[in-house]
Amino acid sequence: MVRLYVKRGDQNQFLFDTKVSEDVTSVLQEITAIYNGRLKVQRLCYDIEDLANHGTMLPPEMIGLTDEQIEELKLKDTWADKCIPSGGFEFNKDDMGRRNGQQPKENMRAVLFKAIEDARNAIDKKLVENNTPMTLKIVQEAIHLLRGAVTIVYPMELPPHDVIRMEFTNTEDLTGTQASKEVIEPCKAQLWFAGHQLMPGKKLSDSLGTNDKTKVVVKLVKLGEGPPGREAIITEDVRKRMMADAYRRQEELKKLEQDDDDQYFNSPWADSGSLKRQVHGLENLKFRFGK
């Protein structure tokens, strides 16, 4: 198996195992699906944290309005009575004005937060440091884990306008959000290695060689972004060690420059009276004084 170290820009993403005999197109599709899937898990974790703290989302026409404006416009959250979390709720106002404030009880919040923690750990970028590869199945299992936790707390399902429900049904609309800039459409995805694009329709071996037992860095790029920057010749750790060695050498040179040029006068061989004392037998004499 060849191991691809997938990066987006200079950011580590995940490790992906495949074979050099695989087609670039299929590998690119799976890597893009994993990349976008990890982004979905991150969005879900963020929104489920809000769900645990402030309940379900308000209808679109009520989001961002003050209580006075809602009362004046005679708007009502008709889903609030339908989507009550298991075990009841406590009121915790959402200062952002996006959710209805019906916070699940502590035991149900614990279910949601545990699922968030497990899902984040499953797709964490630190898995690269642990040499653990990522698969689409792992991403899907993380999403299923989050869905299961939400179902336990809200067995009646969330309102259809809640972004969490839309994420689970793949009907989310990311238009105008920062998230929309992060997602890469499969048809616009490119994979680059050593300054060259891996061309769809060809085999990985055409660019990576025929050795399956290798590990190479590839970069995921969106069409129109241009070629990604080349990898640094030395790693960050090596660079830091080199800088530390250079600084230590510089300090040593400074210390040498500060030493006086006539320090040798204090050396025994530079004592002009040393030879005379040796001739008269006066070298290394010790005196003992009586009482």
Percent of the chain with pLDDT over 70: 84
Cα separation of 83 and 105, whole Å?
14
Cα separation of 182 and 42, whole Å?
12
Instruction: Give the start-to-end residue ranges of the domains of the chain.
Output: 2-222
pLDDT of residue 160: 95
Q: List pLDDT tens digits, range 190-226.
A: 999 988 999 999 999 998 988 888 899 999 999 888 7
- What's the one-letter identity of residue 180? S
Residue 283: pLDDT band with limits 50, 70, 90: low
Nearby residues of 157 by Cβ (< 8 Å), 6 or more positions away: 83, 151, 165
How many helices (DSSP H) and strands (DSSP E) are in the chain? 9, 7
pLDDT of residue 123: 96
pLDDT of residue 273: 65
Q: List pLDDT tens digits, range 37-84.
A: 999 999 999 999 999 999 999 999 999 898 899 889 999 999 999 999
Average pLDDT over every residue of 242-264: 71
